[in-house]
Structure 1
Amino acid sequence: MPVTNVLLITLAAIFALGFVFFKYFLGNKNPGQSTYILAGLRFFTIFILLLLLINPGFKQLELEIEKPGLLIAVDGSSSIAHLEKGDSVQQMANVLQEHPELKERFNIQTYTFGQEIRKVNQNEDIDFKASQTNISSALRDLEHLNRTSQTALVLLTDGNQTLGEDYSYFKNRGNIGVFPVVVGDTTAQTDFYISNLNVNRYAFLNNNFPVETIVNYSGKQELETRFEIRQGTTVLYSRNIKLSPENSSEVISTTLPATRLGRTVYEAVVVPVTEETNVLNNSRKFVVEVIDERTSVLILSSILHPDLGALKKAIESNEQREVSIVTIKDFQINKLSDFQLIIIYQPNDSFIPVFEEIRNNNHSSWIITGTQTNWNFLNAAQENFSRNASSQTQDFFGTYNPNYSGFQFEDLEFDKLPPLEDRFGNMQFGGTPFSALLYQKVEGVDTKDPLLAVFENNTAKQAALFGENIWKWRAQSYLETGTFENFDNFISKLVQFLANTQKKERLSVNLEPVYLQGENLQIEALYFDRNYVFDPSGQLEIKLENQESGELVAGAMLASANRYVFEIDNLVPGEYSYEIKEIKSRILKRGNFIVIENNIEQQFTSANISAMKNLAENNAASLYFLNDPESLIKRLMTEDVYVSVQKSREKTLPLINWKILLFFLVLSLAAEWFMRKYFGLI
């Protein structure tokens, strides 16, 4: 106890004694027995009250036993039910949860996973209805949740994964031991199946579009069958294939003609053989939308720079777009009208005819500046912006503007991407309204000067990016995500917005034309007021109708950031129409989309034993089976690393929490009152 508290308690006792002395003994020459009793009670009362005011703390040592964790992770995907192992898996999980020796040794928790992981409540049965399986994500999440204590993880799964990284390479970090339990038949059955199908979602009228299909085979003998691509009952392509255990895969590539506009549903089929028991994985549907428009983009430059190739790659990642890179000295100005968007890269005096043509014919353009830009010329050639540029260069980082509402794009963590480089100097902007997609950050300071801005004038649109080396953004995006897709999508949406010269609509919808069965469907909409500023107070309602069954789904779209969102999953395959209506303005938007059949979880006929073995080997573990739970329980009980740990914790308890003191205080006051009453003092 601190010295201060000891001193205060001593003073409290002295004060209580002094009070009692002056009250009962000073001037009382013949104190009786009752006087001593009353004095004692009064001293006790005052001393307790003072103690409660001082409220000293007392240290208390608590001991607790912490058991090691036992996590039971159950694959809740529909492939388990399809393999008719749902009851067996549930029974295995119950045996582990209720085993008395395991309950005494471990702190047991049960989780189920499909696309995501969740905890299972006590006495809850698992439904095995998840439409996707992500084993690697489940392993990482459980490892993260239990990274501070020794934990055993029992993984009950068939090993068939439809999403995520290859889980067979997962390796624990030392505190979690993985015990994989195989669910399903480990013997390869005779089965032809389509493992992958690659096709572009868009094709151009009167052109041929490629289709690549990968057909796999599992079985013990060589078998021959036929591969077909059908449109309805019409066979558009067929080919005989012969596969065996030694040659178990074949890549089939062909092209199909795009003869009519709109969406067309095709089906790739491997004709079943008599030995097959599962034919659900013998077919795969796909949809191709045929269009007759192609956006042509021109990149004009007087210098060579990596940015040019990066922009071409990003823009042409969308099959609807074609990019031509031309040097300004080789360009014929009369060809400018052949392009829907002109990208002007680091202009100088030689671009005079280009700017005049853009101004006279209201072309859409995108200006990119940099260290080689002639700013004196650029300031005079257009009126949207100007810069008092010096000979020094400056690095500019980008920051995302979440309030931009011209079109929807995701934050690529622009502030973490490499800086762009341009001439140093103050920026000024003319009278043309503009919106910033990205702001500048200079030497760690956020500014309100745009790094990437869009200017809208009548039907034409102009954009400006103030900095070169955007190729570094594309490269960094690949390093962070392993794909160029995020960066390319951003550039693609910007190009689409600039190249579209139609009048801006107050209600626009962002929706994919095709979704796969089981895929989470998210419909996004933008609603603007009369000044074309995003209006978060809109009341948007949506109706979805299945064109075959007539089933209706209706709901409200919720405002989120700078868009309205409606999410739904588990739509049955078929063609759907949608209607989005803003209640107050009565603005309507209609369209349609297709959900195609793709029950990938029911395409598996046996457990993925090879991947499960690799997982066990990478974690120095053995492989277990549903029909032998005792082997797993014996291993868990004999592992030396899973032992309970006694932990001590020192707590400081304040005196005011001692309820017994209140009892003695009340008792003391009551006793003094009765004594006084008895002796006739009150």
Structure 2
Amino acid sequence: MTAQTVLYIVIAGVTSFALAVFMYGYKTKYNRSLSWLFGILRFITLFSLLLLLINPKFKSETYSVEKPKLPVLVDVSSSISSLNQDENVRDLVAKIQNDASLQDKFDVSYFGFGNDFGILDSVSFLDKQTNINKAFKTTNELFKNEIAPTIVISDGNQTFGSDYEFSSLTFSNSIYPIIVGDSTQYIDLKIEQLNTNRYSFLKNEFPVEAILVYNGKDAVTSRFVIRQGGSVVHSQNVSFTQNNNSQTISVSLPSTRVGLQRYTATIEPLQEEKNKSNNSKVFAVEVIDQATKVLILSQLKHPDLGALKKAIESNEQRKVTFMEPEKASAVLNDYQLVVLFQPDRSFRAVFSEIDKLKKNTIAITGLQTDWNFLNSVQNNFRKEAANASEDVSGVLNLNYGSYAVEDFGFSEYPPLQTLFGELEIKVPHEVLLQQQISGFSTGSPLFASMEVNGVRTAIWDGEGIWKWRANAYLNAESFQDFDEFVGKMVQYLASNKIRTRLEVNHETFYYNNNPVVVSAQYFDKSFVFDNRAQLEITVVHSETKKRDVFPLLLKNNYFEVDLNSLPQGDYSFTVSVKDEAVSRSGNFTILDFNVEQQFLNANVTKLQRVATHTGGASYFSNNMDALIDSLLKNEDYTAVERSQQKVVPLIDWKYLLGLIAIVLSAEWIIRKYNGLI
């Protein structure tokens, strides 16, 4: 409280006292006792009202005791049950939950990790992948500025994600791994990794790379075999020793038939091996007759061109060719889609040929685009561009109906650059991305697609696409989101398929350790996306003839179903719309591959190194009491008393308002009682 405020309070007190004395002490008509009583009540009322007008501020300080945090990260992947440690892990979690001393000293929270990371609601070991790195990164972000020793109950076996040992180097708290699983090293021969293309072209060859690993001391010999059905397509002998314990086998196999081709790679097991499930891997390659060819025409050298090529060719069914526009007219008919990058007058012959051949195109415009030329050679869109540039962001239109797109945070991506001016689309169209500047819509599209007389065209008005691809990697450590976005755009624009009211998207084959997802879009008779429709999928196993029916759930501007509960095998399916005679059918295959069954032991060495890096200690599951005792005795983990100081204005003090109401009421009652009212 400042000196000025104190002075005001003193003046208020003197003024209130003077007024009370004047009203009830100077020539008063009341008796002495009533004069004193009314004077005191009036002084309190006046002084309280003046205090409210002055509204002095007071400091309020509260104290709280804050216990250190104790996050418990529990591995809920299926490798725990494969190692027969599921009951052991449940017992360990229950022991922490039931330890009164631990609960009294720490604020304990429980998280589960496998495919993903989240609050532990039940200890079930169903996840088909393990990402320990994500668990460490998320925990570090949640408890970065707090005292939070972290217990990790795991076998230490990770199947995807960055190496968690290196991410633990930046962990701000100590990690205490509880190692579950057998630490004994058994003789084991396995296929550590198998790499191959998803697609191949007819009469070509596709590569297969197998990394074989041996754990053992004696020299051994085995045979590596690749079979297709009952036929052996490749076979070779392999030898290993304790020092030479890995080999990389590279093979090229011919693509002789169109369609899904399934293979089994096997390293013949040794007689004394304990785990033989990791000796074989099933893989598949879809052989296609020809690729979707995309031609990118440009006079410029620009980083966007590289980003587009990488994104488009992330799907092996698509091939990109770069060419200068002056040389392209004669070869346009060899391509399904032509990308016109920043068109200028050198594109004149190309536009004439495109119009003659009715080719599908996408124009990508930016700061080097000649809009006067572009406005004159086509009638689909127009822009009266100024010389000034502007930075624009993209906002996804969830009602876009040409194909399904998931919002992976377009509005948070770096802005693209475009020439100032309003982009006008002059034909029927759909806007996928709307332009936005500093959070306000410009009314112009950033990306729009059109279909006129069976020819599909699109306009992307902004350069700097490479920043979006880079940002996608920074957000998810993968280019997949951006590449899928560009891939769907190319797939739609490169196709001349007649649009139907029910569009279904699915893969030809899935591995059962990855999501098995089928998506669909349903349109009404005016081809407007109908989000009120009820879609379901009927799946029939080709061998057992078992039928399963699943509903498709609405997700933004499409419907989706996750079929991960289905076992391996070949399936036919039908997606239908309730109360409508509209349906689409297809086939897919689920290939068996359980990466979680590839492990024999806990990864003791890596978990011990993680504990050392972070200043913690590792324990085996039978030594849980030692860990609890260590945490309880560690003086670094003690409760902290924190004070919180608040500045509270007097007007927020409700008791003063209550006092004024009580005093005024008391004065009224006394006057009424004495007949003065």
TM-score (norm 1): 0.81
Structure 2 distance, partners of 1:513, 1:425, is 45
Aligned match of 1:8:
none
Aligned to 1:364: 360
Alpha-carbon distance in structure 2 between the residues aligned to 1:165 and 1:568: 27
**Mapped partners of 2:482, 2:455: distance in 1:** 25
Counterpart check, 1:200 vs 2:191? no
Does 2:102 align with 1:102?
yes
1:441 to 436, 442, 448: 436
Deviations 1:490-540 (A, max 9, x none): 222212111101111111112222222243333221111222221112221
Superposed counterparts of 1:112-511, under 5 Å: 112-119=112-119, 126-147=123-144, 149-171=146-168, 176-333=173-330, 335-390=331-386, 392-403=387-398, 404-411=400-407, 413-422=409-418, 424=419, 426-427=421-422, 429=424, 431-442=426-437, 445-511=440-506
Deviation at 1:282, TM superposition (A): 0.9
Q: How far apart, in 1, do the equivalents of 2:153 and 2:563 lie?
A: 29
Counterpart AA for 1:513:
T
- Please state whether the residue corresponding to 2:612 is helix, strand or coil: helix
- Hey, what does 2:562 align to over in structure 1? 567
Once the two structures are superposed, residues 466-504 of structure 1 have per-residue CA deviations (whole angstroms, 9 ceiling, x without a partner) of 344434444454455444433332222212111101111
Tell whether the 8 Å contact from 1:398 to 1:415 is kept in structure 2 after alignment.
yes
Distance 1:72 1:583, change over 3 A: closer
Instruction: Flag the 1:120–1:447 CA change in 2: closer, same or farther, 3 A.
Output: closer
Deviations 1:136-179 (A, max 9, x none): 22333444444454233221211001233222123487863311
TM alignment of 1:36-51, pairs within 5 A = none
Q: Closer, same or farther in 2 for the Cα pair 1:92/1:427, shift >3 Å?
A: closer
Other structure's SS at 1:448 match: strand
Work out whether residues 115 and 132 of structure 1, in 8 Å CA contact, stay in contact via their aligned partners in 2: yes
Quick check: 1:555 aligned with 2:550? yes
3-state SS, counterpart of residue 622 of structure 2: coil
Separation in 1, partners of 2:272, 2:329: 66
Q: Which moved more, 1:247-256 or 1:351-360?
A: 351-360
Cα 1:605–1:346 shift into 2, 3 Å: same
Which residue of structure 2 aligns with residue 73 of structure 1? 73
CA–CA distance in structure 1, aligned partners of residues 106 and 431 of structure 2: 57
Q: 1:380 to 1:141 in 2, by over 3 A?
A: closer
- Please state how far the C-alpha of 1:382 moved relative to its aligned partner: 0.9
Deviation at 1:420, TM superposition (A): 4.1
CA change 1:359–1:611 in 2 (3 A) is same
Match for residue 642 of structure 1 among 621, 637, 645: 637
Deviation at 1:428, TM superposition (A): 5.5
Shift of 1:460: 1.0
- The one-letter amino acid of 1:191's match is D
Residue 412 of structure 1, CA deviation = 5.2
Aligned CA distance change for structure 1 residues 88 and 496 (closer, same or farther; 3 Å)? closer
Q: Does 1:531 align with 2:531?
A: no
Deviations 1:84-132 (A, max 9, x none): 23333333444444345434433444444322345557xxx83434322
Alpha-carbon distance in 1 for matches of 2:303, 2:216:
51
Shift of 1:269: 1.0
1:515 to 503, 506, 510: 510
Task: Return 5+ residue gaps in structure 1 as ranges.
Answer: 6-25, 28-57, 658-682
SS across alignment from 1:180? strand
| Deviations, residues 234-286 of structure 1 (Å, cap 9, x unaligned) | 21111111122322222111122222222122111111111210001111111
Distance of 1:249 and 1:101 partners within structure 2: 49
Q: Quick check: 246-255 or 433-442, which moved more?
A: 433-442
* Native 8 Å contact 1:519 1:570 kept in 2: no
Contact 2:382 2:426 in 1 (8 A): no
1:211 Cα offset (Å): 1.3
Cα-Cα RMSD: 4.3
Amino acid at match of 2:258: L
Alpha-carbon offset, residue 435 of structure 1: 1.8
Q: Which amino acid aligns with 2:77?
A: S
Inter-CA distance 127–583: structure 2 relative to 1 (3 Å threshold):
closer
Deviation at 1:351, TM superposition (A): 3.1
8 Å contact 2:296–2:322 — kept in the other structure? yes
1:602 aligned partner, one-letter code: Q
In structure 2, the residue matched to 1:43 is: none
- Tell me, yes or no, if the aligned pair for 2:293 and 2:318 is still in contact at 8 Å: yes
CA distance in 2, matches of 1:343, 1:232: 42
**C-alpha displacement of 1:459:** 1.5
